[in-house]
Amino acid sequence: MSISTMIDVENTNHRISPEIRRLERMKENRLTDRFKTVKTFDLNLLTTFEAVFIHRSGTKAADALGITPSAVSQALGRLRVHFNDALFLRDGKALAPTTVAIGIHEGLEDAYDNLIAKLQNISFDTVPTRLVVHCAAYISMFTLNVMRRVLDEIAPECEIVHTISHNTITEIEESLIFRKADIIFDMHSHVSHSRVSQQISSETPVVICRRQHPRIHGKMTLEQIPDETFIYVDSESAILLSNRIKVNSMMRENRVCRFISPSLLTNISMVESSDMLALVPERFYEKMKNAFDVQAVAVDFTMPTQPVYMVYNKSALNNQFFATLVKKMTDIFQQELQNEPVL
pTM metric for this prediction: 0.65
pLDDT at res. 342: 41
Provide the phi-psi class of 61: left if phi over 0, else alpha when psi is between -120 and 50, else beta: alpha
Strongest mean pLDDT among 17-21, 31-35, 74-78, 191-195 = 74-78
Higher-scoring residue by pLDDT: 297, 179 = 297
Whether 207 shows a pLDDT value over 90: the answer reads yes
Please, what is the end-to-end C-alpha distance for the chain in angstroms?
64
| Average confidence score pLDDT of the chain | 82
φ/ψ of 125, rounded to 5, equals -110, 0
Higher-scoring residue by pLDDT: 64, 52 = 52
Instruction: Classify residue 227 by its DSSP letter.
Output: G
Q: Give the model's confidence band at 35: pLDDT under 50 very low, under 70 low, under 90 confident, else very high.
A: low
Dist. CA 98–CA 248, nearest whole Å? 35
pLDDT at res. 184: 93
Strongest mean pLDDT among 107-121, 157-171, 324-338 = 324-338
Q: Give the model's confidence band at 4: pLDDT under 50 very low, under 70 low, under 90 confident, else very high.
A: very low
Whether 20 shows a pLDDT value over 90: the answer reads no
